[in-house]
Amino acid sequence: MDDAARERGRPDDSGDFNDTHDSDDFDRVGDSDSSGGSDHTATPRTLLLLFSLWLVPWSVLVVEGRPATLVFPWGLFDPSVGRLVSLYSYLFEFTGGFGSLPAYLRAWPTSVVAFLLATLSAAGGVLVNREDSRVTVLLLVLAGLGQLSLAWGFAQQPGRVAIPVGTLALWTAAWVRYR
């Protein structure tokens, strides 16, 4: 076998190099192959599960002596008085914007962006059969970490408790649909 043959291809079963490779091997991202690649593409059921997570409170915040506030990906809800504050209003009407918030509160909108991207990634898998499930899972895990950070930061002050329901929901969704 000469050097030119070695440069043209890869070894075959005999150990010799040949020029028989499929150019599509280099174009695929996240496609399944016999070498154990990921083949967990989103299904309509996966997309429905992810859409349902928009309805689940991601964190339950309790301040001593007050009723709980529910943190959803789209806003805050105080069930005791029925008051709803959208994420947009919270960021731009009731506070000085994203940059003015402490890190643990910035974790909320950041996790929403990660979740939105994960939902779009899964939708790509359903609608056009193009999804790298590793990216979707990573985004779901990051969204869950954001909610864990929110809960941890909120609970550091006396008289406050936070339950990161969203962390469990997001990580469970990633595990159940993409394992």
Check residues 129 and 37 and name the one with the higher pLDDT. Answer: 129
Q: How far apart are CA 136 and CA 118, in angstroms?
A: 5
Task: State residue 126's pLDDT score.
Answer: 94
Average pLDDT over the chain reads 84
Chain segment 104-149, per-residue pLDDT in tens: 999 999 999 999 999 999 999 999 999 999 999 999 999 999 999 9
Task: State CA 72 to chain mean position distance.
Answer: 15
Which among 78, 152, 149, 89 has a CA at the least distance from the CA of 97? 89
Which residues fall within 8 angstroms of residue 149, CB to CB, at 6 or more apart?
103, 104, 107
Domains and CATH numbers, the chain: 44-178 (1.20.140)
Task: State residue 66's pLDDT score.
Answer: 93
Which residues fall within 8 angstroms of residue 94, CB to CB, at 6 or more apart?
85
Q: Mean pLDDT throughout 25-45?
A: 53
- Give percent above pLDDT 90 in the chain: 74
The residue written with tokens 């990921």 in the block is 38
What is the b/e burial string over 152-175, where b = at least 16 CB atoms within 10 angstroms of the residue's CB?
ebbbeeeeeebbbbbbebbbebbe
Task: State residue 69's pLDDT score.
Answer: 97
| β-bridge partners, 61 | 69, 162
Check residues 145 and 34 and name the one with the higher pLDDT. Answer: 145
- Give percent above pLDDT 70 in the chain: 78
Q: Mean pLDDT throughout 53-76?
A: 96
Task: State residue 40's pLDDT score.
Answer: 73
pLDDT surpasses 70 at 28: no
Task: State residue 16's pLDDT score.
Answer: 52
The residue written with tokens 């992810």 in the block is 50
Residue 109, phi then psi, degrees to nearest 5: -65, -30
- pTM of this prediction exceeds 0.85: no
Q: Mean pLDDT throughout 11-20?
A: 49
